[in-house]
Structure 1
Amino acid sequence: MKISTTTHRRRTSGAATLAAVLALTATACGDDGSGTAGAKGNEGSGKGEITFWDNNGGVRTDIWKQVIADFEKKYPDIKVNYVGIPAASAQSKYDTAIQGGGLPDVGGVGTAMLAEVAVQGALEPLDSRLDKSSLHGRLGQKLLDSSRAAGGGDKLYQVPTSVNNGTLWYRTDLFKSAGLDAPTTWSKFYTAADKLTDSGKNKFGFTIRGGTGSIAPALDAVYGQTGISSFWSGDKTTVNDPKNVAALAKYVALYKKDTPSADLNNDFTKMVAQWDSGSIGMLSHNLGSYQDHLKALGADKFRGIPNPTMDDGKRVQVSNPVDGLSLFKASKNKAAAWKFIEFAVSAEENSKFNESAGQVPANTEAAKAAWVQKAEPTKLAAEALNGADTTIVQLPYYLPDWNTISKSDNEPEFQKLLLGKITAKAFLDKIADELNAAQADWKQRTKS
């Protein structure tokens, strides 16, 4: 197979990044316990001070301070030092501390950076602690599976707190006027997209994401249609399976036929604003835009449901990034840090946190809270995520090259696909080649 210059640069860069990460791990293994990655730390007294890093500082500061106040009221012999870190700089902040010391006792670590922090030896495996914890059996199993997968293996390095979910927002008023059923299956979705479109009057059945962030929702639509239940078959990705190719071709054929042409460059902000202000029937986004829709349309003109199922009712969806808390191996007071994690993810606190964050609680008891039941999109998302009939296709967040492959490398290619300049097969074959190479690199280097 001929490898393009761009692909070769990406692979070389990815290999160098992982090599550097593993080199840091090796260096840290000789640590003296000053708070770098290899430090073993100790359990401590379970009292005293601990430091907590919030990986979404500013956005989540107020609610975390409420949780901390509640914790310190229950455990007056433990003081939590809060450090808020903006999400954009969280990864570099952790990397710097892993090399030079100063890691927290406990910190927010999302799945997008979990593997990189874990592979540097910075995180404490949490399986045995969770087994003995009051949280045991009270966290969504599919979220735990996502956390383990994002960590690069079978060990749990993150206790999940929250997750978002793909949501199909649709205009109930437009559907009622057209005599359409709710778009609960992919067949009903495509029927509605066609019937609600009158391009001459600037009315469209759907808005498709063509700009930044376009690939993840496209993959969600593809796997949701085909029902293929795993991202890998052995060491090869299923992304370019012929069924997925056909599903993607059908999905992108909506562009300009049943969607506005402006969709080509729309990121989520522009796409949401366009849907809220226009006469478009459906929008695929996540729970995060609920308040925007409520403000723009009013509660009686729209509804948010989980992405469509197959016609037989089978639900397959790709994994969403999971937010969570991790215990750092270098902590000298792991007992107190673990108490904080247990408390923060308990039913009452996890409910309070996610009501503020607008996400689905990881604690299954919290997912039954009154506010969830009143917010139908969140309620339906929680039921889908925890449903026995839901299959989650785990995206490979653990690959150092995942963000590059799924974003900067191939978002311009997705735009070419929408414009008909390349085929769905060529698009998915390119991604598959890159993913297979990244997976092989990861396996080889983690072995060594």
Structure 2
Amino acid sequence: MTLSTSRISRRTLLRGAGLAAAGTALSACIPGPGTGSPGSSGGSQKLRLRYWAWVDDPTSRVLNDLADRFNENHPSIEVDVELMPASAVYERLLAAINAGDPPDASAIHVNNVADVAAMGALHPLDQYFDALPDKDDFVPTAVLGSRLGDESAPLHTMPWYGLVSYLYYRPDWFRAAGLPEPRTTDDFVAACRAITDPAAGRYGYGLRGATHGHIHYFIWLATLGGLEAVRGQDGGPVFHQPERIAGTDWFLDLARRHEVVPPTASGDGFEQLMNNMKAGVTGTAIHHVKSSETLVSTLGAENIRAVPMPVGPSGQRWTEFGPSMNAVYAGGQDPDAAWEWVSYLASPEAMRIFCTEDGGLPVRQSVGADPYFQENPFAKVSIDSLPDAYLIPFTERAGYARLAEQTWPQLTQPALSGEMPSAEFAGRLAEDVR
């Protein structure tokens, strides 16, 4: 099934989903000390909850439509959805928390959960989640992601949807070079060398040197040497240690020795990564299912494929599970009522509607088994990659956001050009998350 033929109208889903019953059955409300029932405001007036979030398509109304349905079936609660860019959500959150006036709930990026939790601003959700009759339907990796990778940690957030990174490649380029699809890291390097033609402006791999490109770096390091080559038993970094530096050499040598990345790689972010694939500049790139529709529409379904991340020398593969989640704030008006809303978004029907419209990967096993996701080849690769997908290391440590958004993009240019040795590059990254 192609993306163009598999799309389902969210309005059709909304009409037929029966979300009222699902939302009521799913939401396990456990009032905390001194609270009343959800939405109780001491009178007959509705409790108005503020919810901040972002969506990839700024014209999308899927969250507004879901809020409308929720509000229709919760007469004492009115959810007001405010959409804004993802970066603006975090900036506003910090200001609102410091001012003592946070929203009642929000979408939150995994990069920011540890810092917000350290401020004491999150309302723990274990008591609510544990009372869900169908909590085992959630993909375990997603629940662990809401605990920032630590099974003993509180459930900081409610799982919502996920993204699993895989490798996009150009099958037409591979066929022309007589290459099979890349299954191992050796296959990958050999293929990138074979399809690179600088005179034609073509390169084997789209390396992301701008913000958040560190994710791909850690994926490769863990694939090459296992997670133990990235993070020690205490959770601290080890990838910078002399006996582990070979992984960084391998990564930087894609530019330094093999010259299979575009000359713009150090400044390439997500937009440039996708534009290079669509323009025929690069033949492979790491990303996830949300990029599939635009790549298919530009290149044609026959000219873009996805495979799980290549297997490393140890025979294992490793990739990123990027959890998207919702937070309830301790300083909000009524955490019980806010839980009603975020648990509704995580109900099977609402999750299916949102993921169908927004392109994310459902984190309920029952929803992932739906033909819509199983028959979409890119979603299917994502689901098949889940057993090898984990939270990126160090997200729970102070300094992670600095590494992702400041240190990484500052260091990639000198490192990729060979001006900065591998050991210095890795060491300076490690400083942020020690």
Which TM-score bucket, shorter chain as reference? 0.7 to 0.9
Percent identity over the alignment is 20
Q: Residue 415 of structure 1: CA displacement? A: 1.4
The residue type equivalent to 1:280 in the other structure is: T
CA distance in 1, matches of 2:184, 2:73: 47
Tell whether the 8 Å contact from 1:405 to 1:434 is kept in structure 2 after alignment.
yes
Among 309, 312, 321, the residue aligned to 1:310:
312
Among 31, 37, 44, the residue aligned to 1:44:
37
Compute the TM-score of the two structures, normalised by the length of structure 1. Answer: 0.79
Tell whether the 8 Å contact from 1:168 to 1:282 is kept in structure 2 after alignment.
yes
Residue aligning to 1:340:
341
* SS class of match (2:365): coil
Tell whether the 8 Å contact from 1:115 to 1:152 is kept in structure 2 after alignment.
no
CA distance in 2, matches of 1:41, 1:421: 61
CA distance in 1, matches of 2:299, 2:244: 35
CA distance in 1, matches of 2:60, 2:201: 42
* SS class of match (1:162): strand
Residue aligning to 1:327:
328
CA distance in 2, matches of 1:324, 1:114: 10
Q: Residue 293 of structure 1: CA displacement? A: 1.1
Residue aligning to 2:109:
110
Among 253, 270, 273, the residue aligned to 1:271:
273
Tell whether the 8 Å contact from 1:60 to 1:357 is kept in structure 2 after alignment.
no
Residue aligning to 1:378:
379
Please give the per-residue CA displacement for 1:301-348, whole angstroms capped at 9, x wherever unaligned: 11122322225652222453x221122224454433322222210111
Residue aligning to 1:197:
196
Aligned length: 394
Q: Residue 100 of structure 1: CA displacement? A: 3.2
* SS class of match (2:159): strand
CA distance in 2, matches of 1:254, 1:261: 12
> Which segment is superposed worse, 422-431 or 311-320?
311-320
Please give the per-residue CA displacement for 1:87-137, whole angstroms capped at 9, x wherever unaligned: 222223223333334333332222222222222222221112111113411
CA distance 1:60–1:396, shift in 2 (3 Å): farther
Residue aligning to 1:254:
254
Among 277, 285, 293, the residue aligned to 1:291:
293
* SS class of match (1:284): strand
Among 417, 420, 423, the residue aligned to 1:422:
420
Residue aligning to 2:143:
144
* SS class of match (1:236): coil
CA distance in 1, matches of 2:34, 2:87: 28
CA distance 1:116–1:198, shift in 2 (3 Å): closer
Q: Residue 427 of structure 1: CA displacement? A: 1.0
Q: Give unpaired runs (5+ residues) of structure 2.
A: 1-31, 41-45
Tell whether the 8 Å contact from 2:139 to 2:365 is kept in structure 1 after alignment.
yes
CA distance in 2, matches of 1:189, 1:72: 50
Residue aligning to 2:11:
none
Residue aligning to 1:34:
none
CA distance in 2, matches of 1:326, 1:432: 28
CA distance in 2, matches of 1:428, 1:195: 28
CA distance in 2, matches of 1:56, 1:268: 17
Q: Residue 406 of structure 1: CA displacement? A: 3.1
The alignment's C-alpha RMSD in Å is 2.8
> Which segment is superposed worse, 189-198 or 59-68?
59-68
Tell whether the 8 Å contact from 1:46 to 1:334 is kept in structure 2 after alignment.
no
Q: Residue 300 of structure 1: CA displacement? A: 0.7
CA distance 1:411–1:309, shift in 2 (3 Å): same
CA distance in 2, matches of 1:151, 1:96: 28
CA distance in 1, matches of 2:97, 2:268: 37
